[in-house]
Structure 1
């Protein structure tokens, strides 16, 4: 997951004999796309066509669907550009440039500042840098923290907000094998989708896009993944990992298991309720499997011993070198103390500020409106980062989304999460009186959802436009709830920022700088949902004494369906079954490579040395689940859809001749 401005060109050349040029990198960078709701993609035509996964596009598919038209399940194909469907709130970003602003961020730090004072000073400087960059370039400008605070880079993006759905396959082929096969291999999924970006009502003209390889990749080929990995914790201290193992992950798993039960129960009410809850349920199931794998990794003594040895080696060097010890102190001890002190208010933090007590889109909207009114009264440098002018357009895209809101599903989720809050904090906690009064979670949720008018976009716009006075006078129950809890939520956030975040930011920055001093810059920073490059090879692996081949095929897909009697989640769509005799079973469907990826890389292009697209990342194998903490290419594999399968399916199953012609255009 190398930064695009720090690609190890010489190491790649020595290992694979391929010279990565600046021109090759620039073209790949500008062909790579970030889906701002989480995920990656790439331009694949000069007319703004973007390739990603079905599961990345599923949020848009769900929002475009209705009781009579389920695009998630049934798929979609626009036969003409006039039939392409506009996404209600999707933003795509394309990275234009990266600038190292570390010295500019840090030159506000004065001797004698406390960690909290340093944090505040840096945050104000970051807001100023982002605002100045936006004003100068017109591009979305995000200052990204790298190596825990040892470096700061500003990433500038071109934004696209007119995004239209072009193609998605049926759910049963996109997610064939369902949750049982998720994070496993062999796989047999056509997890792809196509959208198009528009500018001024016309398809965007794109100079840099990826041509689809006509022959794909072969076993042993060097391949690259260009995408936006979300987050990793590979630089975390042992104390931090122990906190994840003993506190954070068990809590999150229990929370998601409860939310999953809510989704299943709601879906059992009927087909329409199942559709409404479907996207949330699938996301929860994916998270549960991923988090269980991470927890199992942290409970593995071998993994923890490895992390302990790495940490001990660096700490020992600092202990032995008086200059380094004086320069950096003992940041590991500072992080250990910080993690212990978080226990005093962690419940309030995750429930109130992080929103676990309010599993509701309507509450989220009310929370945003209340904070927006307050933050707009401040100068940019003093605002919460998510409310600065540099982030305003993206915030409003979400706030004014016309996506449907399902009242009964809102009630079910909100009632459950209010119950979680009561059970976690205890019935006598002061915040319970503000939130529930004397009502049960079910009754309070019904009162809030039935009484609010925030489902209407016009109401949200009017409230936001009329400013703080309108928010203060509002009798909308959701706004009243958000007003009531905001002081407590802000208070616990401030405490976290001053007592935990500021201490750990300084400590992790010092650990990174110490590593640079002792061992050099031999590793990339943890993932930050910014563009990264990973290099690897098409390669199978050994699992439990069995050789896992790198490719699966259409023949294997049908055999897998037969093996399970074509019962869900191994049921194939009728259009596939009816063409079974005509489909070429030898066409490669999925492929594994040794590229290092993580969540957020879904939808990333896999390219060969010619810069042509040979695959589409959609998953990792079971051994990738510890990739948050360590990477080992012995077993960890990236799972992708082979370009040959995508082309074949478009041509021979979906009869998308117009898309094939566009993809083949040179």
Structure 2
């Protein structure tokens, strides 16, 4: 996962060219002329996308645009089930709270960030000075511009790079395949190979008349990019060069054996168990009711993705014998630094530090699973914290009406996708594991007391029968006087109404319990966890530095941290385990083999009749190859979360696919990348174009693109 600005400096360019890359490092990353970096976007700060036309058309994964597709869907206009295709610019759908960012420049600012830092400083003093230097540098870098600046640490603080970004917020939905294509295979196929998923969606960036970022306006026009990817119709074959360009989220390739043991033996098992329980509730509810299916589709996908990844990760690390491999590396390191006072006690210090952090780490993992991925009633009630506790201060500042009207919209947005019965069952499924696994000192008082008395069921009934947050109508009725006063601008009536509401909510069992959950975490878990994690980070800084010093014959890349990276490999299958061989690509024939004809349109292996017809007639147009239509392919690129939607590029700099997944045997690559077993999965660009054109009838979008067939 190389920084694109360092490819030439580290002599990666030559290695890429030896493997089939026909261009130069300057074509990948340039500040002075247009380059591939100008067609790669950080999509909504969680995925990657790529510009594919001179009118700002952007491709990303279906699962990356899923929340936006879902937000526009209703039972009457079910874009999740039926797909969406705008016939013209006027039909393209605006999206709230959405952004895409281009990288303008990457700068090495290590020297500037570490100015004044000395070995005599405590870690707290060191971090404070680094923070001050960072904030000053970021502010100076973009002063007088519309750009943003972000400085990130690399190699655990041994290096720092600044990323100058241009961010656009008017991003509109243009095309989405039905979920029967975009999510074909669902959870069953997620992280698996062979794969037959058309995981893509299409958006468009809009700008003002000067081609600059602007808030949504009907007067905005399609963005004119500095570069857009030409699209190859030549297809892929084994051993072809591939490059993935994107924003990988997080890897931990340098953590010691103690960290790997915690992941495989403690963290993953308990998190998998929690999500097993919630998914069993959600899956059953979604199958029973179309409205619940729409409400919970995005939530289910959000929960299921990491759940299945963790299962594969644990199996992969065990299969690689990762802990033993780490211990072997550590033994070699220990031998190499013998007698070096700076490094020789590092491994003993790691052992102590990981033992000390474990109870806090576990409490943190479980809090995240229960509070952020469990019953939503707690998160919803927490949205009212400012109103309940700070309304007098907000009134004095003239901001109370603004907050009340924001909460009115919050209510509409939240309850649109909420079902009390489902949420109660999720609470019931998770609370037992949570209270039995977390140390009592870390538990919310109401949960701890109910657990000790054997009254968790009683607490559950109170939450969902008595709390106003379990019912939209009751909450809106309570808030009605405040809503009316805020809309009329009657400040006196508003203050009186909110005072009464605050008094009632302070007794609400959901608001009280949510507050206890968060307070316990913030007081008992977060400070100790943060302090001990800082100690580990400081050890990691020395460990990585020492490793690079004593084994200086290797090239090192920094762990992923949601910054722009390039990785390269080849189109190839794999032999992930005994007796199993994965071929490098799949075709539409495989879709038909998996097809179920006895299921509803929302089943994960349902295939639309129009796609069946196109297959039967072999009506593939210019997108077919030797009578087949390739759907997906695998390659040996090192990817992770955040690379979803990344462009997969051939040796000529042309788009050949969209990265969207890894094989299940590859999920351990966040901790230990194995180029023999690890494979990223991409949807073939020709299948994307086929679905847009032949299936979706949106040839006007194809006409925008630059298609190349050699």
Tell me the alpha carbon deviations over residues 231-263 of structure 1, each in whole angstroms, 9 at most, x when there is no partner.
112111001111111211112111211221231
- The reply to whether residue 541 of structure 1 matches residue 556 of structure 2 is no
Distance in 1 between the 2:367 and 2:188 partners? 34
Distance in 2 between the 1:83 and 1:452 partners? 35
- 1:94-113 aligned at under 5 Å gives the runs 94-113=102-121
Q: Indicate which of 171, 174, 191 corresponds to 1:183.
A: 191
Residue 333 of structure 1 is matched in structure 2 by 348
Residue 643 of structure 1 is matched in structure 2 by 685
- The reply to whether residue 611 of structure 1 matches residue 689 of structure 2 is no
Shift of 1:555: 2.9
Question: For the structure 1 residues 19 and 268, does the alpha-carbon distance in structure 2 shift closer, same or farther, using more than 3 Å as the test?
Answer: closer
TM normalised by structure 2 equals: 0.80
**Is contact 2:659-2:680 (8 Å) kept?**
yes
Question: For the structure 1 residues 486 and 296, does the alpha-carbon distance in structure 2 shift closer, same or farther, using more than 3 Å as the test?
Answer: closer
Q: Indicate which of 581, 585, 589 corresponds to 1:555.
A: 589
Corresponding residue SS for 1:663: coil
Q: Indicate which of 88, 95, 98 corresponds to 2:96.
A: 88
Distance in 2 between the 1:374 and 1:598 partners? 41
Count of paired positions: 638
**Is contact 2:4-2:566 (8 Å) kept?**
yes
Residue 495 of structure 2 is matched in structure 1 by none
**Is contact 1:12-1:19 (8 Å) kept?**
no
Greater shift in the superposed pair: 510-519 or 133-142: 133-142
Question: For the structure 1 residues 157 and 76, does the alpha-carbon distance in structure 2 shift closer, same or farther, using more than 3 Å as the test?
Answer: same
Shift of 1:596: 1.3
Corresponding residue SS for 1:183: coil
| Bigger Cα Rg | 2
Question: For the structure 1 residues 86 and 4, does the alpha-carbon distance in structure 2 shift closer, same or farther, using more than 3 Å as the test?
Answer: same
Residue 380 of structure 1 is matched in structure 2 by none
Distance in 1 between the 2:549 and 2:636 partners? 30
Distance in 2 between the 1:13 and 1:399 partners? 53
Residue 40 of structure 2 is matched in structure 1 by 32
- 1:73-472 aligned at under 5 Å gives the runs 73-200=81-208, 201-300=220-319, 302-319=321-338, 322=339, 325-352=340-367, 356=371, 359=374, 363-364=378-379, 404-406=416-418, 408=420, 413=426, 421-425=434-438, 431-433=444-446, 440-445=459-464, 447=467, 448-450=469-471
Distance in 1 between the 2:380 and 2:130 partners? 29
Distance in 2 between the 1:479 and 1:422 partners? 19
TM normalised by structure 1 equals: 0.85
Tell me the alpha carbon deviations over residues 306-338 of structure 1, each in whole angstroms, 9 at most, x when there is no partner.
22222222222111xx3xx22335333223222
Question: For the structure 1 residues 549 and 15, does the alpha-carbon distance in structure 2 shift closer, same or farther, using more than 3 Å as the test?
Answer: same
Greater shift in the superposed pair: 569-578 or 219-228: 569-578
**Is contact 2:632-2:684 (8 Å) kept?**
yes
Question: For the structure 1 residues 358 and 660, does the alpha-carbon distance in structure 2 shift closer, same or farther, using more than 3 Å as the test?
Answer: closer
Distance in 1 between the 2:207 and 2:648 partners? 27
Question: For the structure 1 residues 644 and 430, does the alpha-carbon distance in structure 2 shift closer, same or farther, using more than 3 Å as the test?
Answer: closer
- The reply to whether residue 515 of structure 1 matches residue 515 of structure 2 is no
Corresponding residue SS for 1:300: helix
Q: Indicate which of 633, 640, 646 corresponds to 2:675.
A: 633
Q: Indicate which of 43, 46, 54 corresponds to 2:51.
A: 43
**Is contact 2:41-2:101 (8 Å) kept?**
yes
**RMSD (Å) for aligned C-alpha atoms:** 3.9
